[in-house]
Chain A
Amino acid sequence: MKFSYYPGCTLKTKAQELEKFALNSAAALGVELEEQKEWQCCGAVYPLAEDEIGTKLSSVRALAEAAQKNEKLITLCAACHHVIKRVNEDMKTKDDVKNKVNNYLQLAQDYQGEAEVIHYLEMLRDEIGFDKLAEKVTNPLTNRKIGAYYGCLLLRPAETMNFDDPENPSIIEEFIKALGATPVKYPYRTECCGGYLSLDNKELAQEMTDNIMKSALKNEVEELVTACPLCKYNLENKNGKIAISYFTELLAEALGVKE
């Protein structure tokens, strides 16, 4: 199984663990992830303005390269996934964006949304299957009560992201179960951590993460996992009482490839 792989800037700097454990695990699962040669930062936020084109170009470049290789594009960071998936939807459905982007990029072949971008978790669920994944676990995480923290970007807007039920998702819980641990659902697992507010409005971000932590504590979550470096940072604030790690770290541990 071979895929094009888009890492994004944070995975090469502050979130190296997210990537390292993902790559080790992919190798153990027989999945080849080939990093794109000239990927550019996705911009971290999807440009919500209808008239913004320039900030969509880096996503289109990544998508077009995957399309040209006839490979699916894999992402790991929730924000990169959000941006690239929504830009791809624009390239499929908005003629205005499609025309302007193609006029600008002058690719060998116009790009019209042909590539498919999937998150690493979707690869585990849809390409490998959680039942097959469970068979490959050598070090089951028995007796560990783990809470999934989904956040916003993988789930919403639901029609475009098409990742899971936006109000009651289960993909990360199924993942946790496949690794032999016990998933714990708690109400605030899909609430926003504050995201970029932590740059310019730290108090509000703090209040938002406190609410999430309270909800997890109340439901006796012992550890948390996420797919987003910014969620992890925000949840590790001064009141964060529960340790939070990347989902790929759990995966590597269960597959016996966490060095």
Chain B
Amino acid sequence: MGRMKIIPDAKKKELQQILEISGENVKDCMQCGKCTAGCPASSSMDILPHQVIRLLQLGQLDKVANSQTIWSCASCFTCTTRCPRNIDLAKLMEAVRLTIIRSKGSSRLKADDVPGKIDPKMPQQAIVSGFRKYNK
């Protein structure tokens, strides 16, 4: 008999939203850790990539949403390419970021912040991609 996971109703809606935005099924993850093993940004993550999935399986969205991890993920798709269960963790990271920055006034990066972060050599690509990732 499997253990029952009780997820509070208020969280269910947000979790459902994350699954819909990402199109990924967190239940497929078997916690092998391959995503974490290959993640080039893991040194600055407070929750490791495989732990992100586990927390989502358990419905503990707040821990993920409040983590540094989602802002350290570089969308490099290494985990995406290596997951033996075909889970696109990069999409889940994006979905969590979006549930935060899509609400009004919650952009991670504001237009006024940009001039302080750029230098003369920085390519447009950096500004456009950073802005697309952190501002809605």
Contact = CB atoms under 8 A, between A and B. Distances in A.
Interface of A: 8-10, 13-15, 41, 43-45, 47-51, 55, 77, 79, 152, 155-158, 166-167, 191-192, 194-201, 203-204, 207-208, 211, 228-230, 232-233, 236
B132 A157 contact: no
A44 B134 contact: no
B74 A208 contact: yes
13 contacts: A10-B125, A13-B124, A15-B123, A44-B125, A48-B94, A49-B21, A49-B95, A50-B21, A156-B76, A191-B40, A196-B129, A204-B74, A228-B125
Given A10-B124, A48-B91, A199-B134, 19 more contacts: A8-B125, A10-B123, A10-B125, A14-B124, A47-B132, A49-B98, A166-B81, A192-B76, A194-B41, A196-B75, A196-B126, A197-B72, A199-B131, A201-B44, A204-B43, A228-B125, A232-B123, A233-B123, A233-B126
5 interchain residue pairs of minimum CB distance: A199-B130, A192-B76, A156-B77, A44-B129, A48-B94
Contacts of A198: 122, 126, 130
Given A44-B128, A49-B98, A197 B81 contact: no
A51 B129 contact: no
A48 B72 CA distance: 16
B101 to A, nearest CB: 11
* A contacts with B: majority SS: loop
B25 interface: no
A155 B134 CA distance: 24
Given A45-B132, A233-B123, A50 B22 contact: yes
A196 B133 contact: yes
Contacts of B78: 152, 156, 191-192
A6 B81 CA distance: 27
Interface in B1-55: 20-23, 40-41, 43-44
Nearest to B71: A201
Q: How large is the interface on B (under 10, 10 to 19, 20 to 34, 35 or more residues)?
A: 35 or more
* B contacts with A: majority SS: helix
B78 to A, nearest CB: 7
B100 interface: no
Contact of B126 (A41, A191, A199): A199
Nearest to B133: A196
A157 B41 contact: no
A44 B94 contact: no
Contact of B21 (A41, A43, A51, A207): A51
B90 interface: yes
Interface centre among A48, A204, A207 (most CB of B within 10 A): A48
A158 B83 CA distance: 12
Given A48-B91, A207-B43, A211-B40, A13 B128 contact: no
B80 interface: yes
A29 B48 CA distance: 48
Contacts of B40: 191-192, 208, 211
Nearest to B44: A204
A199 B109 contact: yes
A85 B14 CA distance: 31
Contacts of B109: 199-200
B88 A236 contact: no
B117 A199 contact: yes
